[in-house]
Amino acid sequence: MSGVLGGGIGDKGLKLSLMETLRHAWADDDLRPRILFVITMFAVYAFGVNVAVPIPGVSTEAIVDKLKSIPMFQFLDVFGGGALKRLSIFALGLNPYITASIIMQILSASIPSWKKELQEGGEYARRQQNRRIRLLTLILCVVQATSLLSIIKTAVPITTGDIITVTVFWTAGAMFLLWVGEQITEKGIGNGISLMIFAGIIISLPTQTGAIIKQIQDGFAHWYQLVLLFLIFIAVTWIIVLFTTAQRRIGIQHMRRQVGTRMMGGTSSYLPLSLNLAGVIPIIFAMSLAFMPLQFAAAFPADSWPHEALQTVQKFLAPSFSSWEGVAACFVYSALIFFFTYFYTAIQYNVEDMSNHLKRAGSFIPGVRPGKQTKDFLDGVISRITLVGAVFLAVVALLQFLAPEITGLQNVGYFFGTSLLIIVSVALETMRQMEASLLMKQYER
């Protein structure tokens, strides 16, 4: 999962321009079919978004009117390309898989036997891990589907039979999307799961743009607000690109050693640490936790005290700048992002393992003794990087709630925040893979 929506260790720079990379990739006989396959799968996804699960007597307009004010609904709908408001077979999107992958990654780092299995088990251990993720994904599909339908049931009459039917279709749709993502990884270019999430957000953009234009046409907004929105969008995109590609490069010296009759090593390189080590995962975790009381509240009658208590708690967990409860929730939301950034970085990047690996390879950081000093040095560097990354993620995450207050436009938050961060990260990562493939062919010649 570290490659999906994640930052990490690796060179983040691009040696070729965007247009040059695309031009060379399209001209390449090996990359062009892969690009066409990705585009075809995007078309399949866009078609499936518009295939609704029929429920007798239920109109999507009533559902949208009921749920359009719920941030969690908007969040899931945008990530799914508008599939949720259409009651599409792809309504759940890849959200269950993302959550399952993150949970399993945390458990694998926390359970010693699973961690040892992944480190030493090779391909068999990876297949076992994938089976666990798929099983948990199936369970989460059912849980998320029934939770969403329970909320929808408060707006429109849905029978138990309808809930079962829709849950089955939504689960099948989510698993199909998972299969499509794996096919893109195998036969396309880039990480298939990341690209499917990217596609869902891109599919939503025309609808979001149309809503803003309609506000101006109806006289609820002015053209200069649109210009302000565009300027903020450009500035935030530039900042996200800057932080996504930024690195802290630690110099590494490799000792000379004799291998057979040849002398190896004696060179220097660097260890690149991305400024955003955790990627977008802390925001997704914080968002899921922030709207959990709302899902639990749907399980109780509207006039019961558990429902009212959970609704009250939700007010202090749903970020907003329109009320004092929402402002307090912004601080809670930021604290959750900080916590998950440090937590995820700690389990993902073990400084002791990194230090031992350098020592076994006969490499060292200039001016730092191998062993404990190297471990302490790396721990300090990663801690400082994580602090900067956490501040960056918190600011980006809050922008989607702050943007409507700045511009005076409604429904513009999802041009920023998590959506924009994912679009930029996935686009850059895909371009890097294309560029790496092109450069590798040049070296082979």
* pLDDT beyond 90 at 209: no
Q: If 0-12 CB within 10 Å is exposed, 13-18 middle and 19+ buried, where does residue 80 land?
A: buried
For residue 358, name the pLDDT band (cuts at 50, 70, 90). Answer: confident
Mean pLDDT within 331-344: 89
pLDDT in tens, 124-164: 778 888 888 899 999 988 888 887 787 777 667 777 788 88
Say what the pTM is.
Answer: 0.79
Residue type, 388: V
* pLDDT beyond 80 at 425: yes
For residue 387, name the pLDDT band (cuts at 50, 70, 90). Answer: very high
**Mean pLDDT for all residues in the chain:** 79
User: C-alpha angle 141/155/57, rounded to 5°?
Assistant: 90
Q: Which residue has the higher pLDDT, 19 or 262?
A: 19
Mean pLDDT within 211-225: 79
Q: Which residue has the higher pLDDT, 267 or 143?
A: 143
Q: Which residue has the higher pLDDT, 394 or 190?
A: 394
Mean pLDDT within 8-18: 59
- Say how far apart CA 445 and CA 443 lie, in whole Å: 5
Pick the closest to residue 174 from 206, 205, 133 (CA basis): 133
* pLDDT beyond 90 at 176: yes
User: C-alpha angle 230/236/241, rounded to 5°?
Assistant: 125
Token readout for 48 is 């499936």
Do the beta carbons of residue 289 and residue 298 sit within 8 Å? no
Q: Which residue has the higher pLDDT, 191 or 414?
A: 191
Among 101-115, 289-303, 364-378, where is mean pLDDT lowest?
A: 289-303
Mean pLDDT within 31-37: 90
pLDDT in tens, 63-97: 666 666 565 666 666 666 666 777 788 888 888 88
Query: Which residues are CB-neighbours of 216 under 8 A, at least 6 positions away?
Result: 222, 223, 225, 226
For residue 78, how many other CB atoms are within 10 A of its CB? 27
Q: Which residue has the higher pLDDT, 162 or 441?
A: 162
213-234 exposure pattern, b = at least 16 Cβ within 10 A, e = fewer: eebeeeeebeeebbebbeebbe
Mean pLDDT within 24-36: 85
Percentage of the chain beyond pLDDT 70 is 83
* pLDDT beyond 60 at 3: no
* pLDDT beyond 60 at 16: yes
